[in-house]
Amino acid sequence: MIEPVEPGETLTHEQRSLDHFLQIYKALDPLEISRRCNLQFDSNAFNMRIMGTEYKAAFPDFSLEDLQGNIVQRGYENILFLRYLCEGKYAVSTGKQLSYREIPWGEVYFKNFEGRCLKRFAHAFSSDIEGLKKALADMGAEKLNKGDAGYRFEFCSGLYMSALIWAADDEFPPSAQMLFDDNFASAFTVEDIAVVGGVVIDRLKEMTAKHCQ
C-alpha cells in the first residue's frame, strides 16, 4: 500500500504525483475502471500482466504486488500504472505499430525520448545482446527478424510493443528502436509512453542480470 504524505512533510515531485493520483484513484468506481481498462476486478484488486508477470493492483489503497508477494517499489512505475487506471482507456489495436514520432505529439518530445529511451537502450544492451535475447525469451516475447535482436511482447495487459537493437560496428554506434501498437495512444499520454520505455529498460536490465548470477 502506498501511503499519502502527512501534512507538514516535504513533498518530492514524485510523491506529489503519487499523492495526487492516489486521491483520484480512491474516488473512482472500480467497475468503471475494470470496463475502461479491460481488467478483471476481484478481491479488491485488478489483475494486470506487466512484462510477463502477473500482478494484483490493489483498490482502493493502491499497490502493485506479484503473486509471490513482491511489491513494486519504484515510484515512477506506480505513477505510470496509477495514471493508466485513473485516466487511460484500453482499445483494440488495429494491428498497426507506431514509432514514438508517429504518436500524437511524439515529434515534439522525440529528442527527450531518444536520449532517455532509445540511446539508453542501445548502450545498455549492445554489449550483451545474447543476455537480452534470453531475458525476452523468458518472458514469452515473440522473436522478430529485425535488427541484431528484435522482439514483440506484451508490456501491460493487451498492450503490445516491439524492441529492436543493432550492435555497434566499425562505422556506426549501437542503435535501437521501440515500436508501440496503436492502442498505446488511448492508454497513455505521449509523456507516459516515454516512461514506458524507461520501465522496459529497467526491467530488462534486472532480467539480464539474473542470467549472469
Its pTM stands at: 0.91
pLDDT for 3 beyond 50? no
Looking at residue 71, the DSSP 8-state letter turns out to be B
Range 45-77 burial, b when 16+ CB lie within 10 A, else e: bbebbbbbeebbbbbeebbbbeeeeeebeeeeb
Strand partners, 124: none
CA dist., res. 205 & res. 76, Å (int):
16
Say which DSSP state 100 is in.
G
18/76 Cα distance (integer angstroms)? 9
Whether 4 has a pLDDT exceeding 60, the answer reads no
Q: What is the pLDDT of residue 52?
A: 95
Q: Domain-by-domain residue ranges, the chain?
A: 13-87, 97-212
CA 132 to CA 149: how far, in whole Å?
A: 8
| pLDDT score recorded for residue 211 | 63
DSSP-derived pairing of the beta strands 142-143 and 45-50 = unpaired
**Chain center to CA of 162:** 12
- Class of CATH domain 97-212: alpha beta
Question: What percent of the chain is modeled with pLDDT above 70?
Answer: 93
Report the DSSP pairing between strands 159-166 and 41-42.
unpaired
